[in-house]
Structure 1
Amino acid sequence: MSGNGPADDYEAWTKSNLIARVRHLENQLEQSGRLGELADAVKPAKAGRDMDPSKYSTRFIALKLAYLGKNYGGFEFQASGNLPSIEEELWKALTRARLIFPDDNKVVKFDCCDYSKCGRTDRGVSAFGQVIALRVRSNRPRRDQGEPLEGKPFDHVDDELCYPRLLNRLLPQDIRVLAWCPWLPADFSARFSCRERQYRYFFTQPAFAPLPASLQGPAKSSRVKTGWLDIAAMRDAARRFQGEHDFRNFCKLDAAKQITNFCRRIFEADIVQVQDDGSTLPYLQDADFAPPGTRAADGTRLHIFYFHVRGSAFLWHQIRHMVAILFLVGQGLEQPSIVSELLNVKRHGQKPNYTMADHVPLVLWDCVFSGDRHDDDEGPGKDSLDWIYIGDDKMKSKFGKFGLVDDIWGLWRQHKMDEVLANQLLRQVSGPSRARDEAKHALPSAGTTAAGVRVFEGGNSGRYEGRYVAVMDKKLLQTVEEQNDKYAKRKGYANAQDMWTRRVMDRARLEEACAQSSRQGEEGEGGEGGEGGEGGEGGEGGGVATQLNCMV
């Protein structure tokens, strides 16, 4: 690996490339000190033969991705991130496979391939239906080459590169390409052409290890036994999200974006039980642990549920805020009506400062693209993209050796063994006491009485509070308008309205400058024609205009 000295843009390098660079330089220093002048006589490694992109055609495709996000710092690449991102791993696979041809493979910069993404999942969040669109190298004959000599027309699936298999060989095991779409409209955008996004947030029932009745202390007013969730109440609360509402009290505000419209439409919201989840915990059938009215047959079973939500678009951390409120309802700490109260922004214009739910159980389940109008409230619409899934062309690519199922099976079994061992340990520890009389040595002040209320937030254990404070009694944050004005003043503007007005004026001047430059280029004057050739900067200017448009 060789660098260009000060010209290298280390800020944009990936973490793995920076580490490789440091090791390379350390190795050079070591060799220089050990060999001295002889180091100059070492024959440099032969550079690998690269592909000439001008010899290949390209095509605009979409890829459907699945990934487990626990080990990643989010989907979007960030040069300063401590953890690798999904985009970073995609970039390395795309460049190694020579599917895209950037100026510098070390710098993650997708502007070379008409790239767009549907969702930007945060750190730790998984996705089973993420979609990206980009222009890649193709097997399709170039127009100047015509059809193959045999006269057989080019088949856009059978004769094309199998992009999922090609990329899956290079991606980490917990990131996989599930399908690709070879036919996209010219103006397709994975972000703006998406009509519906579906999320699922998974949780267990019980939410955390329940205490026996002898350790719970005096009965509380809540009818929900500690550790268990009232699914019916959660379902009631979840369905109140349906429809078009202002969700400013169910998101985290980024004042830098100066958002003023928080209205989003939720097509469907419900609590759904996962079938055949498989885990059993025999001690839960004991009447001392089970909630009242639970059948003995169900008591051994740890059930898995998920919050299912479909919508056109979502605000930052909106799902995790919605789930946090549902968990409070499920524990009997809040009534289902709390959802309706928080959605009433005329009455509650300031968001209470409550904690959002954990990030790991959240999954971007699917992204739907539909060109047909239909009633979104009646159910998910049919995806208008013609996806080619792994196995549609050759079954062995799905079930055979090195197939996708065999690949995912290995990943599943690895995690399943972790679950099995933890399950067996829990069964052994939670077994009946063999030495002491539990009733005689009980600690009646334990649990909610001594340690406070235990609040479930979606993670592996609950959080104890000395005394539960109702959501509506919590400290209120500043209004959206106050936070936007505060940010604008830090940037030197009078207020948010002043910043918005001046940015609109800046955008108008920029568009006029771009139009004037375009007119000059069309006149074909020598010197100015040369400037017109700097289309890259013109493209970046357009990007600035787009960015300003997003910001205002």
Structure 2
Amino acid sequence: MDYTAWSHDSLVERVAQLETELKSKNRGSTPTPAPRKKSWKKPRHDRAFDPAKYHTRLIALKLAYLGKNYNGFEHHIDTPLSTIEEELWKALNRARLIFPKDTDPLNPGEVNWDGLEYSKCGRTDKGVSAFGQVIGIRVRSNRPLAQKKKSEASGQEGIELVEGQREQGHADAFKAYPGENGVEIRAPPLGRSPRGPHVLDSEPLNIHDPALAEALNFDHIADEIPYCYLLNRLLPPDIRILAWCPAPPTDFSARFSCRERRYKYFFTNPAFPPIPHNLEFANSGKGSGKIKDGWLDIGAMQEAAKLFEGTHDFRNFCKVDASKQISNFERMIYHADISSESAASNKTLGFLNDKNFIPEGFDGEAAPQIYTFNLHGSAFLWHQVRHIVAILFLVGQGLEPPSIVSELLDIAKTPGRPTYEMATDTPLVLWDCIFPRQDDPTRQDALQWIYVGDGVGNAEAKYAAMGLVDVLWEVWREKKIDEVLAGSLLDIVQRQGGEITDLTLSKKPNRSQKVFHGADRPRLQGTYQPVMKKHFMESVDFINDRYAMRKGFENAEDLKRQGYRTRNKAAVEEAENEFVEGVE
């Protein structure tokens, strides 16, 4: 067809017509499928996993995590962030190490520890980290079960009994839990609990004793599943399994067997950037009888910290949860002090050591210096550590005297807590959990831990590619480079422009008092109001009575008397033994 005489509009219309006809033909035709390539791989099928084919054993795991990206340790439904327990649950299930019971088929990812003898030492709050968290859990074992064999006399198939199991029939002999007289390796009890009949132990237990392997026909360490290595391959990089205990005590509970918990709270000195002397004004520190703005008086903080040691009533250093009806707030503090973490000092911000920024007469190490508040105690109340740290920061800024600690510990003088703000969560770390024997006054950890890399041929789990050190180096380096870049930028900005001594203010600024609570920046709070002049909360007795009356009882005593302990036994046990920093 000759299109030379066609107009532009006619050509466009013709092209559209042809495209429509082509699309219509394509819809009516069936394309020839490409020939399938022959695969020599066998199709993969998920094999059914039968828990009855495996032994299980109770072990303890020591783990560490950086809590900034998590909604705390304990799992809660509908939290905006994942929790540490949720990540552990997913890894344990993916590795087929646990056999959870009564899991909702419509929600297979729901965390349910029933039947796993699960226990946890601490339930840290959102943002709080832990470097020595401990859990106890029953997991799958490599230890072989009894084997079927034919009887030579009768030719009938029977059960070869092993490890002292008494003959109870086919179903009982292949149970995942040890039989009534079966053997499971455990250490001697920490307390006075009686030993169970299923425990093989000695005084004291030597977990590397060859006699144990001979007795079980199985080396319960060398032949066992590499629990730490396996879980670390499945967990996020900021959650790491550090060690496992193959033989927990017979009376072991990660929660109730722990006799000492150690916390560290990290902070810098100065706590926030100071300003040059010539730009200071009355309420910023200079000439007001207070320490220079931004700097902390470590000596005063140390003096105040020592006042926490011993047994005290800490109701003014915690949050009160009326639903738990706690009436005993006495807790033992073994150790409280402030220490310098000189190895972690940041030398990047060199300008902080300039004479225009440091306090007069300062002769300390190069700034900023890293410090930690170290607290060791038998048990802790809800947010107790963060309330203690908040008061120490007020003392360090010269806003409160060290004696404020004694005033708040005096319940007769201060029956209700003043409404001061607790410290930020992120710098807090559950540093370690200690499990001593009940009669050991030195409180030495009695659990026999096997750390990642220990044992013959296990070094790659710690130092090889994707080993424990390799993964943690990657986490550290990312954050270290961020620190160096931010510090270098801050140094550059400080050096730019005119000389510090030539800078002037346009007028006397009307600024609020800066108050540091452990966060990345201080808060402006107007004229500072001393703690003992703040609004006081109601007494604990009043709070508990008010809660009981809302539930239809006369008071808290009536609530307990009418069966609160029976109907809420688990909640009461938790309340009476509360120790966790940050439990909601």
TM-score after normalising by structure 1? 0.80
Native 8 Å contact 1:216 1:444 kept in 2: no
Once the two structures are TM-superposed, the CA of residue 112 in structure 1 deviates from its matched residue by 2.6
Task: Tell me the residue number matched to 1:226.
Answer: 293
Mark the CA change 1:84 to 1:177 in structure 2 (over 3 Å): closer, same or farther. Answer: same
Amino acid across the alignment from 1:461: R
Mark the CA change 1:549 to 1:356 in structure 2 (over 3 Å): closer, same or farther. Answer: closer
Once the two structures are TM-superposed, the CA of residue 396 in structure 1 deviates from its matched residue by 2.2
Tell me the SS of whatever aligns to 2:344.
Answer: coil
CA distance in 2, matches of 1:291, 1:476: 35
1:389 pairs with 2:455: no
Instruction: Write the deviation string for residues 204-231 of structure 1: whole angstroms up to 9, x where unpaired.
Output: 0100011111221133433411000000
Once the two structures are TM-superposed, the CA of residue 550 in structure 1 deviates from its matched residue by 4.3
Instruction: Say which of 292, 296, 307 aligns to 2:360.
Output: 292
Instruction: Say which of 472, 477, 482 aligns to 2:532.
Output: 472
CA distance in 2, matches of 1:195, 1:143: 39
Task: Tell me the residue number matched to 1:26.
Answer: none
Task: Tell me the residue number matched to 1:206.
Answer: 270
What is the RMSD of the two structures over their aligned residues, measured on CA atoms? 2.2
Mark the CA change 1:443 to 1:153 in structure 2 (over 3 Å): closer, same or farther. Answer: farther
Mark the CA change 1:440 to 1:359 in structure 2 (over 3 Å): closer, same or farther. Answer: closer
Amino acid across the alignment from 2:392: L
Once the two structures are TM-superposed, the CA of residue 361 in structure 1 deviates from its matched residue by 0.1
CA distance in 2, matches of 1:174, 1:489: 45
Native 8 Å contact 2:74 2:124 kept in 1: yes
Task: Tell me the residue number matched to 1:320.
Answer: 386
Task: Tell me the residue number matched to 2:206.
Answer: none
Instruction: Say which of 136, 140, 151 aligns to 1:137.
Output: 140
Mark the CA change 1:420 to 1:386 in structure 2 (over 3 Å): closer, same or farther. Answer: same
CA distance in 1, matches of 2:514, 2:490: 20
Instruction: Say which of 156, 173, 177 aligns to 2:220.
Output: 156
Task: Tell me the residue number matched to 2:188.
Answer: none
Task: Tell me the residue number matched to 2:60.
Answer: 62
Native 8 Å contact 1:215 1:445 kept in 2: no
Task: Tell me the residue number matched to 1:331.
Answer: 397
1:241 pairs with 2:239: no
Mark the CA change 1:317 to 1:152 in structure 2 (over 3 Å): closer, same or farther. Answer: closer
CA distance in 1, matches of 2:387, 2:350: 33
Native 8 Å contact 1:214 1:443 kept in 2: no
CA distance in 1, matches of 2:316, 2:232: 40
Amino acid across the alignment from 2:134: V
1:279 pairs with 2:365: no
Mark the CA change 1:225 to 1:132 in structure 2 (over 3 Å): closer, same or farther. Answer: same
Tell me the SS of whatever aligns to 1:169.
Answer: helix
Native 8 Å contact 1:207 1:227 kept in 2: yes
CA distance in 1, matches of 2:514, 2:461: 48
Instruction: Say which of 58, 83, 91 aligns to 1:93.
Output: 91
Instruction: Say which of 388, 403, 407 aligns to 1:341.
Output: 407
Instruction: Say which of 416, 428, 441 aligns to 2:504.
Output: 441
Task: Tell me the residue number matched to 2:478.
Answer: 414
Once the two structures are TM-superposed, the CA of residue 439 in structure 1 deviates from its matched residue by 3.3
Task: Within 5 Å, give how 1:29-44 maps onto structure 2.
Answer: none
Native 8 Å contact 2:59 2:245 kept in 1: yes
Q: How many residues align?
A: 461
Mark the CA change 1:163 to 1:319 in structure 2 (over 3 Å): closer, same or farther. Answer: same
Once the two structures are TM-superposed, the CA of residue 402 in structure 1 deviates from its matched residue by 1.8
Tell me which structure has the larger Cα radius of gyration.
2
- Ranges in structure 1 where 5+ consecutive residues have no aligned partner: 1-44, 511-543
- Ranges in structure 2 where 5+ consecutive residues have no aligned partner: 1-42, 148-159, 164-213, 577-584
Mark the CA change 1:325 to 1:545 in structure 2 (over 3 Å): closer, same or farther. Answer: closer
CA distance in 2, matches of 1:152, 1:546: 37
Amino acid across the alignment from 1:265: M
Native 8 Å contact 1:327 1:456 kept in 2: yes
CA distance in 1, matches of 2:447, 2:507: 60
1:270 pairs with 2:270: no
Native 8 Å contact 1:451 1:465 kept in 2: no
Instruction: Write the deviation string for residues 498-529 of structure 1: whole angstroms up to 9, x where unpaired.
Output: 1111125x72xx7xxxxxxxxxxxxxxxxxxx
CA distance in 1, matches of 2:215, 2:256: 39
TM-score after normalising by structure 2? 0.76
CA distance in 2, matches of 1:202, 1:389: 26
CA distance in 2, matches of 1:310, 1:350: 25
Instruction: Write the deviation string for residues 478-513 of structure 1: whole angstroms up to 9, x where unpaired.
Output: 000111111112222221111111125x72xx7xxx
Task: Tell me the residue number matched to 1:351.
Answer: 417
